[in-house]
Chains A and B, each alone.
Chain A
Amino acid sequence: MDGTPATIGDDTWEVAGRRFRSRLIVGTGRYKSLEETAAAIEASGAEIVTVAVRRVNLSDPNAPMLQDFVSPKRYTYLPNTAGCHTANDAVRTLRLAREAGGWNLVKLEVLGPPPFLYPDMEGTLEAAKALIADGFEVMVYCADDPVAAKKLEDLGCVAIMPLGAPIGSGLGLTNPFMIRAIKQQAKVPVLVDAGIGTASDAAKAMELGCDAVLLNSAIAHAKDPVRMAVAMKAAVEAGRNAFLAGRMPVNYQADASSPMAGLIR
């Protein structure tokens, strides 16, 4: 029996003119080894991976590089500005990334101080403006703030990526109502970025109607990262299908599934 609706296979999404099938973007950080990074990313089915830009280790120039394990020919590299707390640092970092790889599509994040590393929206808006003027296509990490999200979209950001919860916290979606509100007003893709802790969190984000989910620690810090990558892939697909299917209404009383007719007496 052919029980698969044709639309499932065609359910792609597009950002900055590039079309993707996987709705899961994964980070490449915090793994035990580059081998484990490669295995987990493969299992996740992701087509886009985020990468950081850092100084090379001058005393060990022959150390293995990420590119040797996670090929930029196979995966779309999305350079980030993790660790940047000012607009200037973020812009410098992404200009270097563009020179290193030739990619215009980037992930901007300008962070506030610990312990929350909450997005600094003033710095983020300033950096987004400068990057867009310089020809970048900016996917932007932002607060779960529909006003700021709208400003970023109006500046020309190609995707809006509100946090589910602080980076690396694994708290899940702490403000699902605002994530949904941001999605409903946006004309560009909306992704939940940061905070996902386990598969159900990713499914929940997709059920809210988000276009994709971006996560790293939830896989990298699982006891078995490869298995969690498999779980995340399935969760994102399940959440997406549930969203497209349209969930049943919530009732506050029972509504029996079995017919009442024909009960034995």
Chain B
Amino acid sequence: MRPAGLRPPPGFATFRASMTQHIAVTVNGETRDMAAGDTVAALLRAIGLDSRKVAVERNEEIVPRSTYDSVALAPGDRLEIVHFIGGG
């Protein structure tokens, strides 16, 4: 618990959020807002997916699982996140 005297001034959170640059990416055909600099790992966390059970394609190129933490999203990226389902 922070001492009352050190609380950020009212409106600071909104101010800070407005300073974060947002980018739009397309994930499985849906537009999604992410913060500039967010990685593929951050995207998977935001959706709530277990990265061990999915695969990611970015602009028609595979994103290797070992690079999820280092690949930053760029505005307009088209991402496909897939998994295995029943099929014949």
Contacts and interface: CB of A to CB of B under 8 A. Distances in A.
Q: Which 6 A-B pairs have the closest CB atoms?
A: A52-B87, A27-B88, A216-B88, A100-B55, A99-B55, A28-B86
Interface string A24-48: 0001111100100100000000000
A67 B53 contact: yes
A99 B65 contact: yes
21 contacts: A27-B88, A52-B85, A53-B55, A53-B82, A53-B85, A53-B87, A54-B82, A55-B80, A56-B83, A58-B30, A58-B47, A65-B83, A66-B83, A77-B84, A82-B88, A96-B55, A96-B57, A96-B62, A96-B82, A100-B54, A100-B55
A151 interface: no
B46 to A, nearest CB: 10
A63 B87 CA distance: 17
B84 A56 contact: no
Interface residues of B, number: 26
Contact of A37 (B62, B65, B86): B86
A215 B88 CA distance: 7
A211 B81 CA distance: 35
A79 interface: yes
A80 B81 contact: no
B48 interface: yes
Given A28-B88, A62-B48, 17 more contacts: A28-B85, A51-B87, A52-B84, A52-B86, A54-B83, A55-B80, A55-B82, A58-B28, A61-B49, A80-B87, A92-B60, A95-B57, A97-B55, A97-B84, A100-B82, A194-B88, A217-B88
Interface in A86-103: 92, 95-97, 99-101
Contacts of B86: 27-31, 34, 37, 51-52, 66
Contacts of A61: 47-49
B68 to A, nearest CB: 11
B3 interface: no
Interface of A: 27-31, 34, 37, 50-56, 58, 61-62, 65-67, 77, 79-80, 82, 92, 95-97, 99-101, 167-168, 194, 214-217
A28 B80 contact: no
B56 to A, nearest CB: 8
Contacts of B54: 56, 100
Contacts of A167: 88
Contact of A29 (B49, B82, B88): B88
A65 B47 CA distance: 16
A58 B81 CA distance: 9
Given A28-B87, A55-B28, A99-B64, A92 B81 contact: no
A27 B88 CA distance: 4
Contacts of A82: 87-88
